[in-house]
Amino acid sequence: MADTLLDQLATMTTVVADSGDLDSIRRFSPSDATTNPSLILQAAQLPSRRQRLAEIAQQATDIDAALDDVAVEIGTEISALVPGYVSTEVSARLSFDREATLNKARSLVERYAQKGVTPDRILIKIAATWEGIQAARILEREGIQTNLTLLFGMAQAKACADAGVTLISPFVGRILDWHKAHAPGSDFSGAKDPGVKSVRSIYEHYKSHGIKTIVMGASFRSAEQVTALAGCDRLTISPALLDELANSHGVLERRLSPLGSKAGSPEPQAETAFRWALNEDAMATEKLAEGIRKFMADQRSLETLLGELRHN
């Protein structure tokens, strides 16, 4: 039988599991795994974790510490199942506070170290706000690797490259969601998908300028979006779509290729230029703000759960 689409994808792209579910990670054996507040909440709500969650909540000094302990414990379990990176996210509440983001990132890395997980295995996920990107610049110089998330446009991608971040997670599905809402009835299939086009343009910009930051497409709505980016450095994919790709056959064409640097290094982007460019991109501005709110809503749900367990 011919190789599945997932098998073929893995020959040209590093496949990453977008999940905190250990069973799914065991099944698909991805190279890396990413988590976020929403995925941590899903994992924490599993009945099998309830007793351990209660222990963490009751032993922690406060709810904030309990949140970090839960994320790091799940991340540590994932690190034993994947050979590469595990991404753990800084609280969305800190998205506009550079110093607090720095302190939280350092704390998460220290928590991982206490569990025997070294910094080279960890990516600290930070929202791609100006403050978040500048925090990442400092962390990278300290040897703490970062994954800039909630990235929706070129302004954010260029600023991340300037900061020398290890990896960016440009979103695909949420970009498509926005365009569908604002232009219902339009044809966004295949190469017309605005989320796919955005990641391709970022990938091509990075490769043409010799930028080493890893491009990892994220937030997929369909297997078609995934296969349209075959060849991207990394793609982080949900268990449902991994399953669909693992059960699909056909010839998968490589869509993205690193053709080599053709241009010199671009000029660094000043803060005012970044903020103006982001403001001019209504989709990126709205989806960034919405994404931060959604992650924070799920974090509050986890805080409530841990608070209840803490006082039982």
Active site residue 125: yes
Write the single-letter amino acid at 228: A
Which residue has tokens 């302990």? Answer: 69
Instruction: Report the candidate in 131, 111, 137 with the shortest Cα–Cα distance to residue 122.
Output: 111
| Contact (CB, 8 A) for 227 and 15 | no
Give the pair of three-digit tokens for residue 12.
Answer: 């040209």
Which residues in 86-131 belong to E strands, given as ranges? 86-89, 122-127
User: Strand pairing partners for 34?
Assistant: 18, 87
| Contact (CB, 8 A) for 247 and 178 | no
Strand 32-34 to 234-237 pairing:
unpaired
Distance CA 273, CA 92 (A): 24
Neighbours of 108 (CB within 10 A): 21
| Backbone phi and psi for residue 256, each to the nearest 5 degrees, phi listed first | -125, 135
Distance CA 230, CA 227 (A): 5
Which residue among the candidates 104, 115, 125, 212 is catalytic per the annotation?
125
Distance CA 42, CA 36 (A): 10
Which of the 8 DSSP states describes residue 62? S
Q: Is 32 helix (H, G, I), strand (E, B) or coil?
A: strand
Q: Where are the alpha helices (DSSP H) in 115-258?
A: 130-141, 154-163, 173-182, 194-208, 223-227, 239-246
What positions carry a catalytic annotation? 125
